[in-house]
Structure 1
Amino acid sequence: MLDANKREHTSSYYAASQRDKETFPQLEGSVRTQVCIVGGGLTGVSTAVELSERGYDVVLIEANRIGWGASGRNGGQIIGGYGGSLSSNRETTDKQLGEGATDQLIGMGLECVDIIKERIEKYQIECDLKWGFLNVALNKREMKGIEEFADELKEQKYPHKTRMLSASEVKEYLGTDRYVGGMADDGWGHLQVLDLCKGEARAAEKNGAKIFEQTLAVEIEPGETVKVRTDKGEVIADTLVLGGNAYLAQMAPKLAPKLSKYVLPATSYIIATEPLSDELANDVMPQNYAVCDQRTALDYFRLSADNRMLFGGVSNYSATAPISVTKTLRSKMLKVFPQLEEARIDYYWGGRMGIGINRIPQLGQLYPNVFYVQAYGGHGVAPTHMSGRLVAEAISGDMDRFNIMANVSHMPFPGFGFLRQAMFAAGMSFYKLRDMIG
C-alpha cells in the first residue's frame, strides 16, 4: 500500500474521501514560463500560490497526482515551528546565521500555521479544519521534554492558549490511562490534508498558474533559462523550483544528484478505522484534538470528520516494507484505546518522508535560478507553507529570510546507496531502543 499504483493515489482514507476528484491535464509539447515548479505536494502548491498571487507566470508539474506523496498521506496534523532546533539556542543560531535570526525563525514558526488558516479562509478550501493539539508523554523523561518545550514557548511569548496536563487531566482529552501527562495547545490542529493540497492547487490555478499531472521531470538543462525535460514534453523557464523531497531521487534520479546525499527516505504508516459511533468517538477523544507522543518513532492519531480513528506510526528507516503493518498498528492503537477492539480497519497506507541529519528543512540554490526545498523530517504540513513563501520572496528579489535557512549548514549522510540507508537505519535503532527503555 506504499506505492500500489505509481501514477494514481494510494488507497488511503484521504484519497477515498477527497472532495475534488477532478484531475489536471498531462503536459505534452513545449511550454514557456517564468517559473517552473517540480513537485505537486504542499511545498509545490504553496509556492505556486505565493508566486501566482505576486503575478508570476507559473507552471507546476507533478509526476503522479497532486498530493500523491507525503503531502496527501500524512497524519494531517498542523504543527507549528520552523527550523527545528535552531530557535532553541539563541546564542548559537544568531552567531551562525546573523543577529536576529532566532527571532525571525520563531516568527516563521507561527507564520507557517497562519498561512494555512488565512489561505483556507481566502480561497474557501473545504478540508475539515479543526483546532487543538495534544503533546503526550509516556514517562517522566518525555514529560520533562514537554515541560522544557512549554518554557520555551513562554519565553517566546507564544500567542496561543496552552495548558500543562497531569495524568488525570489528560483524561479530559483522551479516554486512556497510557500517558503520564502532556500539554494541550489551541494554536495547532488537524485537517484533511489531501483536500488542503488539492484546494491550494486549485487556488494557484485560479490565479493563473498552469498545473500538469502525470508529467515526470527527467532532466534539467541549467543556464540563463532552465529547460526541464519531461516524459512527453518540456518546460522552459526563467527560474526552477525543485520540491520533490523524498520522492525526487526516486522519480528522476538524474534530476538533482547533488541533493540526494543530504536526504534519505523514511516511511510511516497509518490505519483508519470504520466510522465510530458518536458515543465511542466521544469516549476515546472527547475534545477531538490531534495527538502525538514524544518518541523518535512516535505514535500520532486523531479523529477524522466522519469519526474514524486515524492512527499512525511504525516508522521505518531501512527502505524495506515491514511485515503486517495493519496488525502492528492495530496493536499499538489498542494499547492506547482498548475500547476500539471491535472497530474494523477500513484503510491502511504508507508514505515516504525526507529526513536530514539535523532534522532542519533544507533550502538552497543549485544555480542562481534553480531553488530547492527538502527534508521536513516528518513535520511538514505547516513548514511547507513557510518554505513556499520564502522561495517566492527570494524569486521576487527579497532574499533576507530565505538566506537564513539557506545558510544553515547540513551534513551529508555517510556511505553510498544501500549502505547509506542501512547506516541510517542502524543509527535510528539506537533512539528506538532508548524510547523502549524509557
Structure 2
Amino acid sequence: MQRPLHAVAWHEDAPNPSNAATPSNQPLPTSVDWIVIGGGFSGLAAARRAAERGARVLLLEKGGLQDGASSRNGGMVHVGFGASTSSIIKRFGADGAREWFDLSRAGVRRIQQLATAGPEGLISSTGIDPNWSETGHLELARSARGVADLQGEAELRASLGLPVRLLDQTAVQSLTNSSAFAGGLAVDEGGGVQPARLQAAMALAARAAGVEIREQMPATGIIQIAGGYEVRTPRGSIRTQHIFGGVNGYADRLFPALRRRAIPVGSFMIATEPLAPELLAQVSGNGEMRFDTRNFLSYWRPTPDGRIAFGGRTSFWPDSLPRIARTLTARMREIHPQLASTTVTHAWGGRLSFAFDRLPRVTRLDGVTHVSGCAGSGVALMTLLAEQTIDWELGGDPPLPARIPWHPVPVPYEGFPWFLPVAGIGFALEDWWSERR
C-alpha cells in the first residue's frame, strides 16, 4: 500500500477560507462589540449572527481557518447525539427528550438551508456549493446483541415520533454490498456536506456581514475591565463587551474552566483515490452516511469527488498518523473487500469534544460563552447553537443546552484526558464481547 499523504482530502476540493481573512499587516481594532475566538463552524456562525444584529465583530483564529475540526470531519449531518436515546429519556422524560431531538432536527434543517440554493443558502451569496446530499444515514451492528440494541433504540425513537426503519441482515447487505453486519437502522432525515466547502462559504458570508477575521492571531489573555473585557494578542489588546468561545476540542490554557469540563478526543480519517463509477456505486449504495455501533466506531461515506472517506477512533493512546491510517485501511477493507487493491491517498485527524454525559453544552465560564461538547454531532448542531447563543446574549431565550448544568469532570482533570486510555480498554473489551455473542 502506498503510504498515505498527510493531507486532508476535503481541502483539495474546496476554496481556501483564508480568502475571507483580513491581511495580517493591517492594524487590529482597539475596541469592538464582540470578540469571537475560533474560526470553525460555531465561531463563524456566531460572528455572522452578531454582525447581522448590528454588532462590530472581530474573529481571532490562532492558526489557519482550516486547522481545526470543522474542515476535517466526516461532513455527516445526522439527527442524534452522543448520548443514547434511552439515557436522554431517563434523564429528561419523554417530553424533554422530544425537545432534545427537536433541537437536533432543527440543526439538520439549518445546515440544509445554508448548503442548498434557497433564500437562506450560501451558494448564491458566496458562489461556493457545500455539496449537500440528502441521503440519510445507516447505523450498523456487527452482532445479534448489537441488532437487539438497535431494535430497542428504534422503538424508543419511534415513541418520540422520529422516523426510523429497522433493517435485517439481508436488507443491510443489499444496501451496503457488505457482509460485515448483522442488521441496522435507517434514518432518512439528514445527509452530508463537503465540510471544507461549507466552512469556506461560512467564512465569506461572515466577512460580507462585516466580520473582521484574523488568522494566526491567538488570544493570549482575557482581563475583566470596567464595561467588559480586554483580550490580549501578540499584536496588542482589544476591548470588547462580549466574548464567544468557538474552540471546542482545541481549548488551551486560556480557558481553564472549559478544560475542566470538555474532554477532547481525536478522530481520524483516510480517503481513497477517486474510484471508478462502477466500484463507487457498489460500495456507496444510495450514498448514505454510515457508521457502526462499536465504541471504537467507524464511519464512512462517498465524497463529492468520487472517493470513499473512512474515519473512526482506533485507540485512546497516542499514536502516529501512518499507524492509525493502516488500522483504518484494514477496517475499511474488512467491511468492503472490494477496496482491497484501492490506493489510500490521504490521512488526517482532528479533535472533537465530549461532555461527560455526551450531550452538547452552551455555557458561560469566566466571561466567555462557549458552545462545546457535541460528541460527534457538531456538523448538525454547532451552527444552530452558535446562532441561538448570540440571540440569547442579546436578550433572547437560552438555547436548550444552556438550561442544564455543566459540572467539571468528576476526577482530577485539567484538560489532558489521562483517564481515556484506561476507559478505552473497557470499551475495546465490550466491543469484543458484544461481537462474540
Q: Same fold (TM over 0.5)?
A: yes
Q: Tell me which residue corresponds to 2:149.
A: 145
Q: Tell me which residue corresponds to 1:3.
A: none
| Deviation (angstroms), 1:371 | 0.8
Correspondence list, 1:69-148, <5 A? 69-81=68-80, 84-85=83-84, 89-90=88-89, 92-93=91-92, 101-121=96-116, 122-124=121-123, 125-132=128-135, 133-148=137-152
Correspondence list, 1:10-409, <5 A? 11-20=7-16, 22-23=18-19, 24-25=21-22, 26=24, 28-81=27-80, 84-85=83-84, 89-90=88-89, 92-93=91-92, 101-121=96-116, 122-124=121-123, 125-132=128-135, 133-158=137-162, 162-223=164-225, 224-249=227-252, 253=253, 255-321=254-320, 324-367=323-366, 370-402=368-400, 404-409=401-406
TM-score by length of 2: 0.88
Whether the 8 Å CA contact 2:165–2:186 is kept in 1: the answer is yes
Distance 1:143 1:83 in 2: 18
Distance 2:183 2:299 in 1: 16
* Alignment partner of 1:415 out of 369, 389, 412: 412
SS of the aligned residue for 2:107 comes to helix
| Deviation (angstroms), 1:88 | 5.1
Whether the 8 Å CA contact 2:270–2:347 is kept in 1: the answer is yes
One-letter amino acid of the structure 2 residue matched with residue 15 of structure 1 = H
Distance 1:111 1:431 in 2: 31
Distance 1:76 1:84 in 2: 20
Q: Tell me which residue corresponds to 1:7.
A: none
Whether the 8 Å CA contact 2:262–2:372 is kept in 1: the answer is yes
Could you list the per-position Cα deviations for residues 20-51 of structure 1 after superposition, in whole angstroms to 9, with x for gaps in the alignment? 46531337433322111101111111212332
In structure 2, do the counterparts of structure 1 residues 315 and 79 end up closer, same or farther at CA, with 3 Å as the change threshold?
farther
Could you list the per-position Cα deviations for residues 86-139 of structure 1 after superposition, in whole angstroms to 9, with x for gaps in the alignment? 885446326xxxx96444322211111111111223221412211221111111
| Deviation (angstroms), 1:319 | 4.3
Whether the 8 Å CA contact 1:120–1:126 is kept in 2: the answer is yes
Unaligned runs of 5+ in 1: 1-9
Whether the 8 Å CA contact 2:82–2:374 is kept in 1: the answer is no
* Higher alpha-carbon deviation: 312-321 or 341-350: 312-321
One-letter amino acid of the structure 2 residue matched with residue 379 of structure 1 = S
Distance 1:231 1:333 in 2: 44
Report the number of matched residues. 416
Distance 1:107 1:270 in 2: 30
One-letter amino acid of the structure 1 residue matched with residue 369 of structure 2 = F
Whether the 8 Å CA contact 1:87–1:93 is kept in 2: the answer is no
Distance 1:17 1:322 in 2: 22
Distance 1:321 1:377 in 2: 23
SS of the aligned residue for 1:116 comes to helix
| Deviation (angstroms), 1:395 | 1.2
Distance 2:305 2:193 in 1: 12
One-letter amino acid of the structure 1 residue matched with residue 289 of structure 2 = A
Unaligned runs of 5+ in 2: 1-5
Q: Tell me which residue corresponds to 1:435.
A: 431
One-letter amino acid of the structure 1 residue matched with residue 298 of structure 2 = D
Could you list the per-position Cα deviations for residues 242-271 of structure 1 after superposition, in whole angstroms to 9, with x for gaps in the alignment? 11112121xxx2x11111121232212111
Distance 2:90 2:248 in 1: 30
Whether the 8 Å CA contact 2:385–2:399 is kept in 1: the answer is no
Whether the 8 Å CA contact 1:87–1:106 is kept in 2: the answer is no
Distance 1:146 1:259 in 2: 33
In structure 2, do the counterparts of structure 1 residues 274 and 172 end up closer, same or farther at CA, with 3 Å as the change threshold?
same
Distance 2:381 2:86 in 1: 14
Distance 2:70 2:81 in 1: 17
* Higher alpha-carbon deviation: 322-331 or 259-268: 322-331
Whether the 8 Å CA contact 1:318–1:422 is kept in 2: the answer is no
Whether the 8 Å CA contact 2:81–2:375 is kept in 1: the answer is no
Q: Tell me which residue corresponds to 1:4.
A: none
Distance 2:313 2:96 in 1: 35
In structure 2, do the counterparts of structure 1 residues 80 and 52 end up closer, same or farther at CA, with 3 Å as the change threshold?
farther
SS of the aligned residue for 2:188 comes to strand
| Deviation (angstroms), 1:315 | 3.7
SS of the aligned residue for 2:29 comes to strand
In structure 2, do the counterparts of structure 1 residues 164 and 85 end up closer, same or farther at CA, with 3 Å as the change threshold?
closer
One-letter amino acid of the structure 1 residue matched with residue 175 of structure 2 = Y
SS of the aligned residue for 1:421 comes to coil
Could you list the per-position Cα deviations for residues 130-164 of structure 1 after superposition, in whole angstroms to 9, with x for gaps in the alignment? 12211111112222222222223322222x5x432
| Deviation (angstroms), 1:390 | 2.5
Percent of residue pairs bearing the same amino acid type:
25
Alpha-carbon RMSD across the aligned residues, in angstroms, is 2.3
